[in-house]
């Protein structure tokens, strides 16, 4: 097992370096740079000298490879540098945003799991009955409904029916938990619905697979509850794919909630990414992408670990 | 003796068209929900194709006398902040959605399938490198990658299509590769290699058609995802730009701003998105059930 | 006259995890033009891998595969292409050896078009019809998909596909072992007819001596990646020298019940050892009924016992 873990950890490194290379050069291919945007963007005019001085200050005049090596060197010392746009240390820029995104992702996961697992299991146990159909339609609708639109509808309903709007400024959980939940529960519901649809479908099909096993078929005559208890063992294996989609969706939420954040006016990682790209804030964008990719890769790694733990054959592949 | 066995039965070989007809009829009979989904998809395509004929107004025509009008006899779904007819813009918006959906899904699934199949075919170092590169692309959330591509290319219909297609390719490649791996080991691929066929022919003619089932499943899944992504990008103002009618764009700005006084602006385009994606998913789900050999025996 | 195919010291190792599977360990034989060489051994003895190395579907670890005077192992994939049509293959499983998405007509016509053996669509269609007739199928079968045919019919399609390229050598990799016994004879007869008609050379791979007896001129018996015994058909059956060949022969049923009753049966104990970790000395010694101390340590070399008859056994 140890060798497997070490091997998997080592495999993460080239992927992360690849991500770093990709985003570094992708950003530099994007037309326009931060200096132009800041000085010439507002309709103002700046002389070439001013632009050059500013570029030199940000280190943008150095050859690309030296910029890249410099960035990598900093990363190796866990120094992410400063934002080119605000000048603040990147860790400071990201800290609060990360907390918000993490909390939103966790809350959505909670909602999704609470919905998906029981509904998925019931749908499978009652396969091809009206319960199954309703659950499936509910989940397909969940996949089809854009979360951001659902968010708009939530706001609309709160506004029109309850004459109330969720607070617009982020209050961290440790400052005022009630205020915090009041604010985050709506986007979490909007996102959680779609998320639960993905997990629900996986739960249902995994459960069906288990129910197809012979020894469970023979137990058909017994009640629902016994069936569930009978399947408990097989369920552990069958739930792996469910765990996988839940984990991957979670990783996705950590950076992919751009639009929902926009609707609820939440300053999460997604919106920060859009802003930083718009500003051509190379250092911040790079750090963000690397962060999001790291979350994704680590989550993937944990999922693989879970598989290897449950099914030892995988370790030797 | 030698002829005995072979002469026994030669029934009329069914023509390709007849096969398809039979398969379609069976699909409709056994999977009514899927058939309904397919019908809505076709309807949606027809609406997109004949938008000019069926829509009551010009999608770009502004009517400052009827700004933010509630749904009424003249404007069934109301008007927006410029007095443009919401129904008309939804009808024309389906054009954008279908164009983006089909282009992205077809190009993304096809390119991805070719890459995945080729990777499985060559194996060894090629496969390893392709997999690593795909891993890199897969570790970006879909929308982040799409945003990066939009930032690079700028907005506009073609660029949006490119931005949505790029992140789909590695996902398609992953799926195609895993089913191509078993096909790679089939004796008929060995036969093709022993016949001295070129790699391209073996990949395109012998392997690709045999990953048709996962390909079609991916295609239908991508259709819905592409429409959702396009709506998201347009909503962020990074997709197609005004005044082009697009569902995501209709939800942007004024729709939120006037949500309380003119909720129809926010409600109906969202319904259009949901319905279109719902139909694709309904059809795709049933198609998957019909094509998945593990489920076929049921 | 030089042989059509010479296999010299062929070695093929596969790396599996940390281990090395020694599938083929130094095999040497040749096939003359128009001859049928039977290659016999239990599953896992390396006979199929030998066939695949000859076809260059696997690149050998070392050794040479000399076909019509050229060493195929030294050629690149591109250089091989024009030669490949000369060395064709018929597979064991008639279900997976035909592309399920192509009609029988397309399967047979494709190599004809690619190698431009016959040009023009009409002429190609005529050739396909002709080939179908040669293997005992009807022109109407060209419209069919493989899954609409029986196992025997599919194997005929496989043979037609190989014939379409006008090969000199066909590697028949257990072409009948997946078929019903009644159909096995038909296919063997068909292969013999085609051999005399087109002057074909066969490498006929099988897992028992019963099937190859009818069709082979010479026979090679393999065990754990090595040649145990090689000779012409008559002396293999009448005068087997290697204890492994004798054991294989004793498993072949004799149609005469009286003889069948009288003869002694050699039943080999144990399983074939894993080629991941072959035994030292003579690879056969753990299962050999007559093994002596020497067999544990000394590797027996192939010795000439009489002209054209070789065996790798200290006691032969």
| pLDDT tens, position by position, A67-107 | 888 888 888 887 778 887 787 888 888 888 888 899 999 99
d(CA B276, CA B228): 10
Closest listed residue to residue B208, CA positions, set B236, B228, B189 = B189
Buried b / exposed e over A187-224, threshold 16 CB at 10 Å, is bbbbbbbbbbbbbbbbbbbbbbebbeeeeeeebeeeee
Furthest-apart CA pair in chain C: how many Å?
A: 69
Q: Residue C30: CA atoms inside 13 Å, Cβ hemisphere, count?
A: 14
d(CA B232, CA B141): 14
Closest listed residue to residue C23, CA positions, set C47, C6, C41, C5 = C47
Say if the Cβ atoms of C136 and B187 lie within 8 Å.
no
Q: Residue A116: CA atoms inside 13 Å, Cβ hemisphere, count?
A: 31
Taking contacts as CB-CB distances below 8 angstroms, the residues of chain B near C183 are 5
Say if the Cβ atoms of A255 and B263 lie within 8 Å.
no
- Closest by Cβ to A149, choosing from B260, B270, B280: B270
Taking contacts as CB-CB distances below 8 angstroms, the residues of chain C near B183 are none
Mean pLDDT along residues A216-231: 60
Mean pLDDT along residues B38-42: 92
d(CA B232, CA B251): 10
Phi, psi of C11 (to 5 degrees): -130, 130
Say if the Cβ atoms of C186 and B206 lie within 8 Å.
no
pLDDT per residue as tens digits for the range B58-67: 888 787 877 8
Say if the Cβ atoms of B186 and C96 lie within 8 Å.
yes
Q: Is the pLDDT of residue A46 over 60?
A: yes
Closest listed residue to residue C255, CA positions, set C215, C218, C223, C213 = C213
Confidence band for B1, pLDDT divided at 50, 70 and 90: very low
Buried b / exposed e over B182-192, threshold 16 CB at 10 Å, is ebbebbbbbbb
Chosen for mutation from B144, B159, B287 (greatest number of chain A CBs closer than 10 Å) is B144
d(CA A298, CA B139): 10
Chosen for mutation from B136, B230, B260 (greatest number of chain A CBs closer than 10 Å) is B136
Residues of B near C (Cβ–Cβ under 8 Å) read 1-3, 5-7, 10, 13, 186-188, 190-198, 201, 205-206, 209-210, 212
The answer for C285, left when phi > 0, alpha when psi is -120 to 50, beta otherwise, is alpha
Measured between CA atoms, the residue of chain B closest to residue C139 is B10
CB C157 within 8 A of CB C146: yes
Cis? peptide before A39, omega within 30° of 0: no
Burial (0-12, 13-18, 19+ Cβ within 10 Å), B297? exposed
- Closest by Cβ to B136, choosing from A22, A155, A254: A22
Buried b / exposed e over B74-84, threshold 16 CB at 10 Å, is ebebbbbebbb
Chosen for mutation from A13, A17, A258, A285 (greatest number of chain B CBs closer than 10 Å) is A258
Taking contacts as CB-CB distances below 8 angstroms, the residues of chain A near B274 are 141, 144-146, 149
Mind telling me how many Å the CA of B198 is from chain A's nearest CA? 31
CB C300 within 8 A of CB C232: no
d(CA C303, CA C310): 5
- Closest by Cβ to A26, choosing from B148, B255, B270: B148
The answer, for B249 touching chain A at a CB cutoff of 8 Å, is no
With a CB cutoff of 8 Å and minimum separation 6, the contacts of C45 are: C222, C223, C224, C225, C272
Q: Can you list the alpha helix ranges (DSSP code H) found in B123-263?
A: 124-138, 142-153, 157-184, 187-194, 199-201, 212-235, 247-250, 254-257
Taking contacts as CB-CB distances below 8 angstroms, the residues of chain A near B275 are 144
The packing angle between helices A90-125 and A269-278, to 10°, is 130
Closest listed residue to residue B228, CA positions, set A109, A259, A296 = A259
Q: What is the interface pTM, i.e. ipTM, of the complex?
A: 0.90
The packing angle between helices A177-211 and A224-256, to 10°, is 130
Range in A229-233, B100-104, C137-141 with the lowest mean pLDDT:
A229-233
Closest listed residue to residue C109, CA positions, set C132, C86, C128 = C128
pLDDT per residue as tens digits for the range A271-315: 888 888 888 888 888 888 888 888 888 988 888 888 777 766 655
pLDDT per residue as tens digits for the range C95-105: 899 999 899 99
pLDDT per residue as tens digits for the range B214-260: 888 888 889 999 999 999 988 888 888 878 888 988 888 766 777 77
- Residue C145 three-state SS: coil
d(CA C162, CA C185): 19
Say if the Cβ atoms of B144 and A156 lie within 8 Å.
no
CB B148 within 8 A of CB A277: yes
Q: Is the pLDDT of residue B4 over 60?
A: no
Residues making up chain C, counted from first to last? 316
């Amino acid at each position: 097992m140890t060798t497997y873990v070490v091997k998997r950890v080592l495999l993460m490194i080239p992927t992360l370096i690849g991500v770093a290379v990709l985003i570094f050069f992708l950003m530099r291919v994007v037309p326009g740079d931060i200096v132009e945007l800041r000085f010439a963007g507002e309709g103002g005019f700046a002389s070439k000298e001013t632009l050059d001085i500013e570029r030199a200050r940000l280190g943008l005049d150095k050859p690309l490879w030296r910029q890249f090596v410099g960035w990598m060197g900093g990363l190796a010392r866990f120094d992410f540098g400063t934002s080119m746009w605000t000048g603040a240390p990147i860790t400071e820029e990201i800290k609060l945003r990360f907390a918000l995104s993490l909390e939103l992702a966790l809350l959505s996961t909670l909602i999704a799991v609470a919905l998906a697992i029981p509904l998925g299991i019931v749908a499978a146990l009652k396969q091809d009955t009206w319960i199954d159909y309703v659950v499936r339609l509910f989940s397909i609708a969940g996949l089809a409904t854009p979360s951001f639109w659902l968010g708009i509808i939530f706001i609309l309903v709160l506004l029109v029916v309850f004459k109330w709007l969720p607070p617009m400024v982020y209050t961290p959980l440790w400052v005022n938990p009630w205020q915090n939940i009041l604010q985050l529960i709506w986007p979490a519901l909007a996102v959680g619905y779609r998320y639960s649809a993905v997990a629900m479908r996986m739960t249902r099909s995994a459960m069906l697979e288990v129910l197809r096993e012979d020894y469970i078929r023979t137990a058909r005559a017994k009640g629902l509850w016994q069936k569930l208890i009978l399947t408990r063992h097989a369920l552990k294996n069958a739930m792996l794919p469910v765990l996988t989609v839940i984990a991957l969706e979670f990783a996705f939420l950590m950076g992919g909630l751009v639009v929902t954040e926009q609707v609820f006016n939440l300053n999460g990682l997604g919106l920060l990414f859009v802003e930083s790209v718009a500003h051509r804030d190379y250092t911040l964008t790079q750090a963000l992408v690397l962060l999001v990719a790291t979350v994704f890769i680590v989550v993937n790694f944990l999922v693989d670990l879970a598989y290897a733990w449950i099914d030892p054959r995988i370790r030797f592949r | 003796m030698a002829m005995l066995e072979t002469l026994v039965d030669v029934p009329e070989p069914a023509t390709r068209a007849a096969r398809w007809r039979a398969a379609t009829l069976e699909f409709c009979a056994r999977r009514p929900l899927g058939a309904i989904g397919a019908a809505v998809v076709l309807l949606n395509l027809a609406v997109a194709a004949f938008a000019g004929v069926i829509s009551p107004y010009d999608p770009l025509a502004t009517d400052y006398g009827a700004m933010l009008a509630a749904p009424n006899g003249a404007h069934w779904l109301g008007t927006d902040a410029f007095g443009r007819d919401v129904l008309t813009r939804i009808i024309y918006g389906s054009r954008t959605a279908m164009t983006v959906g089909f282009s992205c899904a077809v190009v993304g699934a096809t390119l991805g399938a070719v890459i995945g199949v080729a990777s499985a075919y060559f194996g060894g170092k090629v496969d390893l490198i392709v997999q690593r590169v795909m891993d890199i692309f897969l570790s970006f959330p879909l929308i982040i990658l799409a945003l990066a591509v939009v930032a690079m290319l700028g907005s506009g219909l073609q660029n949006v299509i490119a931005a949505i297609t790029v992140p789909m390719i590695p996902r398609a490649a992953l799926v195609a590769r895993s089913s191509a791996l078993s096909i790679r080991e089939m004796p008929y691929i060995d036969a093709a290699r022993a016949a001295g066929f070129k790699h391209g022919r073996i990949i395109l003619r012998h392997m690709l058609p045999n990953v048709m089932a996962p390909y079609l499943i991916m295609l239908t899944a991508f259709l819905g995802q592409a429409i959702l992504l396009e709506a998201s990008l347009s909503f962020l103002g990074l997709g197609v730009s005004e005044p082009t009618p697009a569902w995501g764009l209709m939800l942007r700005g004024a729709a939120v701003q006037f949500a309380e006084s003119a909720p129809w602006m926010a409600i109906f385009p969202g319904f259009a998105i949901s319905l279109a994606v719902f139909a694709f998913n309904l059809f795709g789900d049933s198609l998957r059930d019909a094509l998945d050999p593990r489920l076929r025996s049921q | 006259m030089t042989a059509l195919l010479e296999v010299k010291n062929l070695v093929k190792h596969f790396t599996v995890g940390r281990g090395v599977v020694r599938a083929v360990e130094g095999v040497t034989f040749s096939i003359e033009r128009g001859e049928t060489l039977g290659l016999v051994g239990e599953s896992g003895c390396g006979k199929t891998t030998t066939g695949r190395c000859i076809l260059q579907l696997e690149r050998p670890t070392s050794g040479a595969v000399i076909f019509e005077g050229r060493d195929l192992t030294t050629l690149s994939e591109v250089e091989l292409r024009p030669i490949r049509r000369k060395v064709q293959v018929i597979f064991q499983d008639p279900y997976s050896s035909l592309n399920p998405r192509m009609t029988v007509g397309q399967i047979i016509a494709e190599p004809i078009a690619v190698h431009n053996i016959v040009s023009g669509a009409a002429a190609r269609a005529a050739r396909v019809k002709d080939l179908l007739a040669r293997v005992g199928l009807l022109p109407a079968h060209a419209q069919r998909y493989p899954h609409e045919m029986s196992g025997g019919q599919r194997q005929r399609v496989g043979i037609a596909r190989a014939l379409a390229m006008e090969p000199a050598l066909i590697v028949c990799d257990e072409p009948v072992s997946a078929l019903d016994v009644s159909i096995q004879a038909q296919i063997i007869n068909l292969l013999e007819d085609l051999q005399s008609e087109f002057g074909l050379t066969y490498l006929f791979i099988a897992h028992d001596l019963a099937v190859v007896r009818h069709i082979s001129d010479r026979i090679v018996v393999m065990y754990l990646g090595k040649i145990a015994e090689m000779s012409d058909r008559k002396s293999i059956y009448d005068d087997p020298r290697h204890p492994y060949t004798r054991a294989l022969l004793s498993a072949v049923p004799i149609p005469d019940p009286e003889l069948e009753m009288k003869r002694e049966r050699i039943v080999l104990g144990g399983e074939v050892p894993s080629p991941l970790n072959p035994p030292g000395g003579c690879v056969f010694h753990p299962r050999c009924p007559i093994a002596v101390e020497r067999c544990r340590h000394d590797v027996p070399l192939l010795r000439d016992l009489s002209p054209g008859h070789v065996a790798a056994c200290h006691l032969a």
